[in-house]
Amino acid sequence: MPVGRRVVVTGLGAVTPLGNSVPEFWANVQAGKSGIGPITLFDPQQLPSRIAGEVRGFDVAALVGKKDARKMDRFSQLAFAAAREAVEDSKLRIDDANRHDIGVFMGSGIGGIMTIEQQHRLLLAQGPDRISPFFIPMLIGNIATGLISIDLKVHGPTQTAVSACASSNNAIGDAFRVIQAGEAEAMVCGGSEAPLTPLAVGGFCAMRALSTANDAPASASRPFDRARDGFVIAEGGGALVLEELRFAQRRGASIYGEIIGYGRSSDAYHMAAPDPDAHGVKLALKRALQDAAITPDDVDYINAHATSTPLGDTAEAQAITSVFGERAKTLPVSSNKSMFGHALGAAGALEGICTVLTIRDGIIPPTINYRNVDPACPIDCVPNVARKAKVDIALSDAFGFGGHNAILVFRRYAEAG
C-alpha cells in the first residue's frame, strides 16, 4: 500500500430491497430480514423464476422532478438517489475551491436494459419515428456516473466499471487508487443495477442460474446451504464517499472507517462458470492482503460474494479455506445476498456498506436460510442470526461473469494508523 495517502469512508447511501436509506437498510440486515418476494415490476408468470429483490416505494421524482425522472433509466435513478444520500451523509460541501478534486466512479453490469426493452416494444408497435431522442443517453452504462457528476458539478475523474457482478467493487477499488495516487481528494463511488425486466430475468432463467423456489421467496436465497438451487436476482443502488484522510480531517468529517487494500484477478476459465479450483479467487485474496500489508490472521470477517449457486459458493469457500488455512474454520464468513438477493453490478457497493457498518457497530450480519450443512463449504457462515463481535479488519468479495474478481479490505479507523 503506498505510503502517505490514506483513504477513509465518510458517507454512505443505499436504495435496496431492504430499505431506501442506509439506516433502514442496515437495521433490516442486522435483523436478518428478507427483502425477497414475487416480482411485481412485470408479469413473470411465463418464467421458471418469478421472485426477486425489488426496491419498493422508491420515487426518484421526489429528488429530480417528474420531467427529469422520465429521462433516466431505473438503474440511473437508483445510482443517483444513493449518491445523493452518500454525499449528504458525508456533509461534503462542494464548491469552486474543491470541485476539480472530486470525482465519480460507479459500476453497472447491464446498464439501461429496462429502457432498451421499452423502446424496442415501441419500435415494433409504432415504428422508428417513436423512438425517444433520450434512448441512447438513457441506456448507456456510463450515464449514471455522468448524471451524478452533473448533479454534483464536480470536474474530477469520472469512470464506469463494467465487470458484471464485480463492477462496483472495481469502481470502489479504482476510486481508492485514484485518491492514493493524488489524482483526487474525494470520490463518490459504488454501483447500481435494475435488471428486473422480462428479457434480463428470462436470460438468467435460460442459463438456469436462478432459484425456482417461487412458493417460498423469503427462503429462496440460501448461500452455503447444501439445498441451494441458484441466486435470486435483485436491483439496487449503493454509494460511498471516499476521501483522502487529511482532506477529510481539515473539514471535520465523521469517518466510518478506512479502506486499506484492493486485490484483482481473472479466472481465465469460462465466460460464466467459476473455476472449480478457484485459482483466480485465491490470487485476488492474496493480492488484497498483500496490498493492505496484513496477514490472514489479521482478518476478523469476510463479507462473501456467495450468491447461492452450487458451484460459486463452493469455489469461494474452498478459496477461503486455501488462503486462510486453519484460520478459515473459525473466521466468520457471511452472505448478505441471503437477505436481499443478488443485485449484480450493485452487489459490491451494498455489501461494502454493510462491511463498513459491521466494523463500526461490531455486528456481523447473518447468512439467513441456512439449514443444511454442505461439507464442500466448511466455513462459519454466521447462520441465521447476527453476531456481536469486534471487527477491526474485514474483506468484501465480488466476482463476475467472465472471471472478474475484486476484493476490498476495510479497517477500523484510528488516527495513528
- Are 229 and 368 in a shared domain? no
In this predicted structure, the answer to whether residue 2 has a pLDDT above a threshold of 50 is no
Share of the chain above pLDDT 90, in %: 98
For the residues 205-210, what does the mean pLDDT come to?
Answer: 98
- Are 233 and 87 in a shared domain? yes
Catalytic residue chosen out of the listed positions 305, 354, 377, 404: 305
- Are 246 and 276 in a shared domain? no
Does residue 309 form part of some domain? yes
For the residues 345-369, what does the mean pLDDT come to?
Answer: 98
Classify 373 in phi/psi space as left (phi over 0), alpha (psi -120 to 50) or beta: beta
Would you place residue 353 in the very low, low, confident or very high pLDDT band (cuts 50, 70, 90)? Answer: very high
**Chain mean pLDDT for the chain:** 97
Does residue 258 form part of some domain? no
Catalytic residue chosen out of the listed positions 189, 205, 279, 342: 342
Burial 239-250 (b: 16+ CB within 10 A, else e): bbbbbbbebbee
Does residue 416 form part of some domain? no
Residue with cell 433502514: 24
In this predicted structure, what is the pLDDT of residue 415? 81
Is residue 103 a contact partner of residue 204, using CB atoms and an 8 Å limit? no
- Are 166 and 269 in a shared domain? no
**Closest CA relative to residue 53, chosen from 386, 307, 365, 301:** 307
In 3-state terms, what secondary structure has residue 310?
Answer: helix
Give pLDDT tens digits for 325-343: 999 989 999 999 999 999 9
In this predicted structure, the answer to whether residue 1 has a pLDDT above a threshold of 80 is no
342 carries an active-site annotation? yes
In this predicted structure, what is the pLDDT of residue 107? 98
How many whole angstroms separate alpha carbon 297 and alpha carbon 217? 37
381 carries an active-site annotation? no
Does residue 96 form part of some domain? yes
Domain containing residue 216:
7-250
- Are 276 and 246 in a shared domain? no
Strands 186-193, 158-161: parallel, antiparallel or unpaired by DSSP?
Answer: unpaired
| Total domain count, the chain | 2
DSSP for 180-211 reads HTTS-SEEEEEEEE---SHHHHHHHHHTT-B-
Answer with the one of 218, 250, 282 that is the final residue of a domain: 250
Q: At 143, which amino acid appears?
A: I
Does residue 196 form part of some domain? yes
For the residues 75-93, what does the mean pLDDT come to?
Answer: 98
Classify 21 in phi/psi space as left (phi over 0), alpha (psi -120 to 50) or beta: beta
In this predicted structure, the answer to whether residue 63 has a pLDDT above a threshold of 50 is yes
Does residue 277 form part of some domain? yes
In this predicted structure, what is the pLDDT of residue 27? 98
**Closest CA relative to residue 237, chosen from 195, 298, 289, 294:** 195
Beta-bridged to residue 190, according to DSSP, are: 106, 239
- Are 269 and 245 in a shared domain? no
How many whole angstroms separate alpha carbon 120 and alpha carbon 53? 25
Answer with the one of 195, 223, 250 that is the final residue of a domain: 250
Give pLDDT tens digits for 156-189: 999 999 999 999 999 999 999 999 999 999 999 9
In this predicted structure, what is the pLDDT of residue 400? 97
Does residue 257 form part of some domain? no
In this predicted structure, the answer to whether residue 416 has a pLDDT above a threshold of 80 is no
270 carries an active-site annotation? no
- Are 158 and 234 in a shared domain? yes
Q: For position 107, which CATH number holds?
A: 3.40.47.10
**Closest CA relative to residue 266, chosen from 251, 250, 254, 284:** 284
Q: Is the dihedral of CA 2, 102, 265, 356 positive or negative?
A: positive
Would you place residue 10 in the very low, low, confident or very high pLDDT band (cuts 50, 70, 90)? Answer: very high
- Are 224 and 313 in a shared domain? no
Strands 36-38, 51-53: parallel, antiparallel or unpaired by DSSP?
Answer: antiparallel
DSSP 231: B
For the residues 12-21, what does the mean pLDDT come to?
Answer: 98
Give pLDDT tens digits for 256-294: 999 999 999 999 999 999 999 999 999 999 999 999 999
- Are 327 and 400 in a shared domain? yes
Answer with the one of 250, 271, 306 that is the final residue of a domain: 250
For the residues 72-99, what does the mean pLDDT come to?
Answer: 98
- Are 138 and 218 in a shared domain? yes
Does residue 190 form part of some domain? yes
- Are 274 and 310 in a shared domain? yes
For residue 46, with 0-12 CB atoms within 10 Å meaning exposed, 13-18 middle and 19 or more buried, which class applies?
A: exposed
For the residues 398-413, what does the mean pLDDT come to?
Answer: 97
Share of the chain above pLDDT 70, in %: 99
- Are 103 and 217 in a shared domain? yes
Q: How many H-runs (helices) and E-runs (strands) does the chain carry?
A: 14, 14
DSSP for 313-328 reads HHHHHHHHHHHHGGGG
DSSP for 94-128 reads P-TTTGGGEEEEEE-SS-SHHHHHHHHHHHHHH-G
